[in-house]
């Protein structure tokens, strides 16, 4: 009788672990399946009426001064993130806490360079990058906190990251000057 109870106990324990592992299992993505998921329901153009008020950072002076003083959250209103080139502030982003779905990137003069729209607050997370003209310029598909697929606006893989390692490098990376945007009149 003890053997039967022991066997039943072992089986119950094994089934509970198997069930737990099944629940924790994640969907695995490759370049193609991640692309399909990333571009599902994407808005290729954002109406300028939505982001017109963000074309200039009205808090530019305060934001830059806060960044210089290593203050990255302002009055529970907005989050700041600086980006440096050789220890010099080059650009910064602003995320308003009342609308955390969007992040706006500005040059040091306070002019909008681009903005991101993030979909989902849990993984997988999609982030759509738009130019200051509202045109889609990039799509990032974050599978989890460790893996990302990054595509250009046409769906071509730009990079695949796992942790700090780029695991798939495209044949040629085209430098994108985000300060220029996608204005057809402005060609270099």
Q: What does the block give as tokens for 163? A: 């942790």
When mean pLDDT is compared over 3-7, 21-25, 98-102, 184-188, the highest value belongs to: 98-102
pTM of this prediction?
0.75
The 3-state DSSP class for residue 97 equals helix
- Res 9: pLDDT: 47
Q: Is 95 buried (19+), middle (13-18) or exposed (0-12) by CB count in 10 A?
A: middle
Residues 46 and 104: beta-carbon distance below 8 Å = no
Residue 71 predicted with pLDDT over 60: yes
Distance, CA of 116 to CA of 54 (rounded, Å): 12
Residue 108 predicted with pLDDT over 60: yes
Query: Strand pairing of 136-142 and 125-131?
Result: antiparallel
pLDDT tens, position by position, 146-187? 999 999 999 999 999 998 888 876 644 444 444 434 444 444
- Res 184: pLDDT: 42
Is the backbone of residue 121 left (phi > 0), alpha (psi -120 to 50) or beta?
Answer: alpha
12 — pLDDT class (breaks 50, 70, 90): low
Residues 97 and 78: beta-carbon distance below 8 Å = yes
Task: Phi first, then psi: give them for residue 162, nearest 5 degrees.
Answer: -125, 115
Residue 97 predicted with pLDDT over 60: yes
Q: Among residues 123, 131, 108, which one has the least CA distance to residue 93?
A: 108
Residues 180 and 172: beta-carbon distance below 8 Å = no
């Amino acid at each position: 009788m003890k053997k039967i109870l022991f066997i039943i106990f072992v089986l119950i324990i094994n089934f509970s672990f198997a069930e737990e592992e099944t629940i924790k299992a994640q969907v695995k993505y490759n370049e193609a399946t991640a692309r399909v998921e990333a571009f599902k329901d994407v808005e290729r153009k954002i109406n300028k009426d939505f982001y017109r008020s963000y074309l200039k950072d009205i808090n530019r002076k305060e934001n830059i001064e806060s960044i210089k003083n290593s203050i990255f959250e302002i009055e529970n209103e907005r989050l700041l993130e600086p980006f440096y080139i050789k220890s010099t502030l080059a650009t910064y982003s602003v995320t308003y806490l009342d609308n955390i779905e969007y992040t706006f990137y500005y040059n040091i003069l306070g002019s909008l360079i681009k903005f991101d729209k993030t979909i989902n607050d849990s993984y997988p997370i999609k982030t759509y990058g738009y130019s200051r003209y509202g045109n889609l310029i990039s799509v990032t598909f974050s599978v989890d906190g460790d893996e990302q697929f990054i595509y250009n606006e046409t769906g071509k893989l730009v990079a695949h990251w796992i942790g700090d390692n780029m695991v798939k490098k495209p044949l040629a990376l085209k430098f994108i000057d985000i300060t220029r945007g996608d204005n057809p009149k402005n060609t270099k």
